[in-house]
């Protein structure tokens, strides 16, 4: 790997060397490394780009790294990854995509991830998106995530767009079974003339199912953000949607949360807030010796954590 590729891997997957355990590294439209373990099998698809990840029942304290990086201008790809997590497994899945574009052609990655979690399985899923490069070609990411949680399963989803993505259209759909739970945290930063749209649909299908959506975003310069989080209660369930955004410069942000109850026993709550950085917060940090720019950066970093 060259220095650009190493930097992208560090940004999106916190990898500074080849990881231990199961991994699949994709670079510029092709596999750059793959390893399976006794409990976690990674199998390439034969009919389309992508892989299947099969995690055996009762697998504990293991991780899977599946980063994607594009360092050549002009690559456009769609990748399909399917995850099958066995009963009682407890694993960490670290994904992410980084694009370095110094050319005049657009570079685009569309990742379609589908998760099937067995009874009482638990997954922590971390996904980071990052872009860089001084070319005129756009950096585009369009992730689609589908999740199916069986009885008693749970999933923590930490999905973030760090910086540098010119256009993104994010679509997430989650079906939650009996006594299953999902917590989705989405963090997003846009700047310049970037555009981001995010749709999250969670269906609380099972008895005593629960879900939480926490969206935090920062819109800077002339960027545009639109959020459509929706929680649907189809059974006795609990759902909470919270959207918080900081708006700066000439940015435009729309947050349109929705809750739908199809059961008398569904308890659903939503709240949304958009505002600028409070002046007293800036003043307090500036009295400690920070410049206004440093104070803003400090506040934004804390908000997006």
11-25, 225-239, 256-270: lowest mean pLDDT where?
Answer: 11-25
The pTM of the full predicted model, rounded to 2 decimals, is 0.93
Q: What is the pLDDT of residue 277?
A: 87
Which helix (H) or strand (E) segment holds residue 293: the answer is helix 292-304
Query: pLDDT by residue (tens digit) across 183-239?
Result: 999 999 999 999 999 999 999 999 999 999 999 999 999 999 999 999 999 999 999
- Sorted by sequence, the CB contacts under 8 Å of residue 51 that are 6+ apart come out as 24, 34, 42, 43, 44, 45, 66, 81, 82
Kindly state whether residue 286 falls inside one of the protein's structural domains: no
Q: Any idea which of 12-26, 71-85, 94-108 has the lowest mean pLDDT?
A: 12-26
Is 287 within the bounds of a domain? no
Which is more confidently placed, 215 or 4? 215
The verdict on residue 244 lying in a domain is: yes
Q: Is the pLDDT of residue 138 over 80?
A: yes
Domain contains 110: yes
Is 299 inside any structural domain? no
- Name the least confident of 116-120, 135-139, 161-165: 161-165
In a domain, 204, yes or no: yes
Is 302 part of a structural domain of the chain?
A: no
**Domain-located, residue 289:** no
Give mean pLDDT, residues 58-79: 94
Q: Residue 273's domain spans which residues? A: 3-278
| Domain tally, the chain | 1
Q: How far apart are CA 178 and CA 12, in angstroms?
A: 33
What spatial distance separates the first Cα and last Cα of the chain, rounded to whole Å?
A: 30
Structure-block tokens of residue 56: 């055996």
**For residues 9-17, average pLDDT:** 83
User: Residue 26 and residue 40: Cα distance in Å, rounded?
Assistant: 18
Dist CA 255 CA 274 (whole Å): 8
C-alpha closest to that of 76 among 142, 146, 10, 4:
142
């Amino acid at each position: 790997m060259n220095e650009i590729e190493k930097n992208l891997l560090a940004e999106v997957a916190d990898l500074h060397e080849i990881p231990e355990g199961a991994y699949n590294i994709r670079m510029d439209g092709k596999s750059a490394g793959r390893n399976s373990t006794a409990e976690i099998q990674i199998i390439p698809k034969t009919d389309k780009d992508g892989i299947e990840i099969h995690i055996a029942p009762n697998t504990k304290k293991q991780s899977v790294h599946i980063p994607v990086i594009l360092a050549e201008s002009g690559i456009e790809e769609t990748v399909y990854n399917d995850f099958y997590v066995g009963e009682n497994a407890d694993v960490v899945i670290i994904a992410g995509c980084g694009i370095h574009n110094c050319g005049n052609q657009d570079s685009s990655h569309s990742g379609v991830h589908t998760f099937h979690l067995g009874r009482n399985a638990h997954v922590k899923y971390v996904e980071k998106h990052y872009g860089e490069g001084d070319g005129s070609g756009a950096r585009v990411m369009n992730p689609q995530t589908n999740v199916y949680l069986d009885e008693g399963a749970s999933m923590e989803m930490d999905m973030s767009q760090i910086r540098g993505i010119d256009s993104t259209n994010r679509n997430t759909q989650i079906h939650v079974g009996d006594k299953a739970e999902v917590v989705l945290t989405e963090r997003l930063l846009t700047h310049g003339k970037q555009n981001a749209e995010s749709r999250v649909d969670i269906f609380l299908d099972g008895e005593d199912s629960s879900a939480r959506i926490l969206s935090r975003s920062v819109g800077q310069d002339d960027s545009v953000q639109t959020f459509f989080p929706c929680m649907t209660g189809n059974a006795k369930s609990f759902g909470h949607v919270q959207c918080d955004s900081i708006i700066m410069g000439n940015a435009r942000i729309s947050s349109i949360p929705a809750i739908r109850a199809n059961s008398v026993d569904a308890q659903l709550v939503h709240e949304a807030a958009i505002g600028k950085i409070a002046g007293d917060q800036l003043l307090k940090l500036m009295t400690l010796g920070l410049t206004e720019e440093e104070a803003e950066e400090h506040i934004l970093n804390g908000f997006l954590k």
